[in-house]
Structure 1
Amino acid sequence: MARSLRLTEAERRVWNAFPTGRPVEFGNHQPVPTRTPGANAPKDGDTWGPERTVRAEVIAKLLLGARGAGAGAVPAVRISGARITGSLEILGGTVEHELVLSGCHLEGPVRLTDSRTRTVRVTDCRMPSFGGVGMRVEGHLSLSGSHITGPVKVMRAQFATGVWMAGTIMEHPHDEEPALQATGMIVDSVAFLGNARVTGMVRLAGARLNGGLSLAGTEIRNPGRIALDAEGMVVEDAMRCTDGFLALGCVRLRGSRVNGLLAIRGVIRSPDTPYALHASHLEARELYLKPDEPIDGVVTLAHSTVGTLQDSPETWPEKLRLNGLTYERLRGSGVTRRIDWVSRDPEGFRPQPYEQLAAWYRRDGNEALARRAQLAKLRSRRQTEGPGGRLWGRLLDVTVGYGYRPWLAAVWFGILLLIGTVVFGLNPPRPLKPDEAPGFDPFAYTFDLLLPWSTFGQRDMFDPAGWTQALAYGLIVSGWILATALIAGATRVLRPT
């Protein structure tokens, strides 16, 4: 087989090292610790000569069993610092050996479509694309530190011990095709995409990540379009978009489920898409939403279910949809800011966020705060009614606080009682029947005017004159208004609308 391939000296080194899995090093590739993505990937690999050049065909044949194992050894392809020409293609094959490429320059794509492999590590390399649609990896896939100038496709792929793309650069700015296409991917361990730099879309829709997902420090740039599409994704453990996470474009988490912590920090900017953060119909055991700056664009958590919601009023966006959001616990800020929080729907008044907020305060034992939330709901609803409804609503608000502040009626009653007592004490009305009239009491007389029925009998025995007559009529009308408002307010409390 070796003779039929007419191996070069560089290829013969790889061929001879394979049976024992011995690493083959070309050049002086010495990766250094760094936080800069792709920093260790070669930049001049296209200039390397034949002494560092290996055909991808040779690697593929070795992986598919062209040469047997050495006695007492585990075969593997382990190459560093090589220039690899041609496409590394194993389509539908079964690979029993580990593939490790480090610091290599790949002139053609890597295609492992529908293959079954052991661990595949293509780290600190430069390559045009990676294709692993439907692949099954009995180990892990690592593209960490690599610079990939085209798409990475691992749709419907399965990985037993994880996916690692730490510090990877992926560049594929395309209107439709993502830079990272991982729809339906299943990872039984951790999916670590931290500190990556992506130009284009990251699509994780329908993926199942059983060991969590880390996007800590990752930057995704796809302005005007979707940056992260994770619709319908399921994450066991935690999903972290933290530590300098940046998304220029929409972050779409619609219908996803996170059975642990969903932490969103960093920066999200997408003012020119319908949503900057689209997290409707989301399920999360805990949502930690504290970005480094207010999210630029519309945020929706509509119809989502959250166990514990922890956020910060300093970073709330101006437009926030909360209709249908339910939560068991709420952390971060007082009732005044929470009322502002539930009133930011760009389409106007929505009653459910107020009701949910009131329900939370009630469960937490804060009945007074629950009443404030209900009162805020009715005040907000008033702005959606016609002139008559707004007038009646304002009257209910001023007099009895829509029934949630009945003590206001007593305050108004006391003020009117004081005014009437003073005025009628200085300007007593004339008796209708002087011989039968009791002694005039301005306090009792005013009290009778304010009540819908006469309690002390003073109202029926005296008749005010002049301008005090107008005051008397005003007190009667005010008394009826207070009584009506009190009844209407009590009805609202007993039967919320």
Structure 2
Amino acid sequence: MELASGEWVDFEGDVVSASLIRDLLVDSDQLDPRGVRVRNARIDGQLDLCDVDTKRPLALRDCVAEAPLLLDRAHLSALDLTGLVAPAVSAPWLKVDHYLYLTNAQLNGGADDWAVDLGEACIGSHLSMSGAQLLSDTEFSLNAHKLRTGSQVYLAGVHAVGTVRFDGARLGGNLRCDGAVLTADGAAFLGVDMHVEDNVFFHNGFRARSENYIAVRIRGSRIGGQLVLGGRATGLTALDVKHVRVGMEVFVPADFAEGLVDLDGLTYSGLPRESGLDEWLELLAEKTPRYASQPYLQLAAAHQAAGHERDVRRIRVAQQRDLLRRGRLSRSGRLWHRVSGATVGFGYRPATALLWLLAVLALSVGLMVGVAGPGGAVRCSTVEQIGHALSSATPLVKPDPAQRCQVATTTGLGQFVVVTTWVLQLLAWAFATLFVAGFTGLVRKNA
């Protein structure tokens, strides 16, 4: 029989019986080690390989089937369904020793089926679905829940309507979604608790759109290499990478997310790429769903490791401003944050308090020279008036009781000058204390 020879058989659009293919694989002792290799055939009947265990490959390239292919719990050496046109491929618990190809497949599960079901399947090497069109009116277009692969997963150029699901998957190489276009009412790409040994790519024209939920959700995932984002994700929440651990860098362009971005708990190595510090700070302050300290601390730690001390201070100040704006603070805590922010930059810019101290001294001099002197409240030279003002307002410096420049307190103006001088002296003490406290880090907070 020609199909048992292991050679490619091109049917040129003619019919091949589904039962014949099954019989050949079940009775694999009579089958060439290269397996069944069919091209350009129309499969008559439903190909049901559920629970079939064979060490032979199956290749059905550019074939058409009118019924879903059933591969539940099947065990094959390799499976090549390149260019398949069918309603669906149902393969939960499938085991393939080597590779699985669904490249350029066209699968439409309609209202009854997921386009592809690879739930808890195990692929010894790589899975390629590049260029596939996956349509389903049900929740998922591709269900790869707890999928296991020994190598790469290629979803490059995939067009999917319905959620692409990789929850709990364990992928032994890269996950490549270059140029994929994903659309769903729920999450467009769902990969909660996904483990990827190497890199994850959502770039080079990648598009993900969720009508009512999250465009890309990989919360709690572990990525051994880089997380590379590009293209556009659109949804109420565009990107959820909460508690994701990335072994290397993250690449996040400023225009990737059209919607909220949840970064709380995201950890990575090195500086974030594709966006500058200003863009990251804007992202954290304006596009995150709520205030969280961890994204700021992670960003600050990355810049600290790179030796960017000035940027670290900018990040810390931006964090405290966000805490003041969106954080949970008591009234007294909020008031203290406002004061410390205005005076010492929340403890990270203590030199600001020195500027306030100089402003107080200038006010004291202006009060004495511009108000008390012309009003007759003091009778001494201008130089003596300046010296009196500075000695009165400067902390730890007491006025000389023997000096000639004294304020006459018998007049209303003199009393006003004295009381104002007391207020200015209190302010000078406060700013000097805040400077010392900010300089020594006493007002810094881990919020």
Shorter-chain TM-score tier:
0.7 to 0.9
* Cα distance between partner residues in 1 of 2:271 and 2:252: 10
1:88 is paired with a residue whose SS is: coil
Are 1:122 and 2:86 matched, yes or no? Answer: no
Question: Among residues 450, 458, 461, which one is paired with 2:393 in the alignment?
Answer: 450
2:243·2:266 contact (CA, 8 Å) conserved in 1? yes
1:84·1:104 contact (CA, 8 Å) conserved in 2? yes
Are 1:251 and 2:216 matched, yes or no? Answer: yes
1:103-252 to structure 2, matched below 5 A, reads: 103-150=62-109, 151-174=115-138, 176=139, 178-222=140-184, 224-249=185-210, 250-252=215-217
Name 1:278's counterpart in structure 2: 240
2:243 is paired with a residue whose SS is: coil
Deviation of 1:469 (Å): 3.8
1:202·1:229 contact (CA, 8 Å) conserved in 2? yes
TM-score w.r.t. length of structure 1:
0.77
* Cα distance between partner residues in 2 of 1:481 and 1:231: 54
* Cα distance between partner residues in 2 of 1:496 and 1:98: 65
Name 1:8's counterpart in structure 2: none
Are 1:416 and 2:358 matched, yes or no? Answer: no
Q: Once the two structures are superposed, what CA deviation does each residue of 1:460-482 show, in whole Å capped at 9, x if it has no partner? A: 87223443542342232022122
* Cα distance between partner residues in 2 of 1:265 and 1:489: 44
2:387 is paired with a residue whose SS is: helix
Are 1:305 and 2:305 matched, yes or no? Answer: no
* Cα distance between partner residues in 1 of 2:84 and 2:95: 22
Name 2:316's counterpart in structure 1: 374
Structure-2 change in CA distance of 1:91 and 1:307 (3 Å): same
Are 1:18 and 2:19 matched, yes or no? Answer: no
Deviation of 1:296 (Å): 2.1
Are 1:295 and 2:260 matched, yes or no? Answer: no
Deviation of 1:183 (Å): 0.9
Q: Once the two structures are superposed, what CA deviation does each residue of 1:183-218 show, in whole Å capped at 9, x if it has no partner? A: 111110211111111111111111111021111111
* Cα distance between partner residues in 2 of 1:479 and 1:369: 35
Are 1:463 and 2:411 matched, yes or no? Answer: no
Question: Match of 1:23, as an amino acid?
Answer: W
Name 1:31's counterpart in structure 2: none
Structure-2 change in CA distance of 1:268 and 1:481 (3 Å): same
Structure-2 change in CA distance of 1:427 and 1:453 (3 Å): farther
Name 2:444's counterpart in structure 1: 496
Are 1:473 and 2:419 matched, yes or no? Answer: yes
Q: Once the two structures are superposed, what CA deviation does each residue of 1:75-132 show, in whole Å capped at 9, x if it has no partner? A: 5211111111111112222122221112211122221211211111111121121122
1:302-451 to structure 2, matched below 5 A, reads: 302-312=264-274, 332-334=275-277, 336-344=278-286, 349-383=291-325, 394-403=338-347, 404=350, 405-420=352-367, 422-423=369-370, 424-427=372-375, 429-430=377-378, 441-451=384-394
Deviation of 1:356 (Å): 4.5
Question: Match of 1:146, as an amino acid?
Answer: A
2:270·2:302 contact (CA, 8 Å) conserved in 1? no
1:54-73 to structure 2, matched below 5 A, reads: 54-65=16-27, 68-69=30-31
Structure-2 change in CA distance of 1:17 and 1:299 (3 Å): same
* Cα distance between partner residues in 1 of 2:382 and 2:19: 118
In percent, how many aligned pairs have the same letter? 24
* Cα distance between partner residues in 1 of 2:38 and 2:289: 59
Structure-2 change in CA distance of 1:168 and 1:453 (3 Å): closer
* Cα distance between partner residues in 2 of 1:444 and 1:106: 98
TM-score w.r.t. length of structure 2:
0.85
For structure 1, list consecutive stretches of 5 or more residues without a partner in the other structure: 1-15, 28-47, 313-331, 432-436
* Cα distance between partner residues in 2 of 1:126 and 1:210: 28
* Cα distance between partner residues in 1 of 2:67 and 2:102: 16
* Cα distance between partner residues in 2 of 1:460 and 1:352: 57
2:137 is paired with a residue whose SS is: coil
1:400·1:409 contact (CA, 8 Å) conserved in 2? no
1:441 is paired with a residue whose SS is: helix
1:216·1:241 contact (CA, 8 Å) conserved in 2? yes
Structure of larger gyration radius: 1
1:467 is paired with a residue whose SS is: helix
Query: Number of paired residues?
Result: 425
Deviation of 1:237 (Å): 1.2
Deviation of 1:495 (Å): 4.4
Question: Match of 2:423, as an amino acid?
Answer: V
Structure-2 change in CA distance of 1:481 and 1:197 (3 Å): same
1:216·1:242 contact (CA, 8 Å) conserved in 2? yes
Structure-2 change in CA distance of 1:22 and 1:396 (3 Å): closer
**CA root-mean-square deviation:** 3.0
Question: Match of 2:126, as an amino acid?
Answer: G
Q: Once the two structures are superposed, what CA deviation does each residue of 1:406-459 show, in whole Å capped at 9, x if it has no partner? A: 32134314422441453355456458xxxxx99992122112321356524159
* Cα distance between partner residues in 2 of 1:459 and 1:170: 94
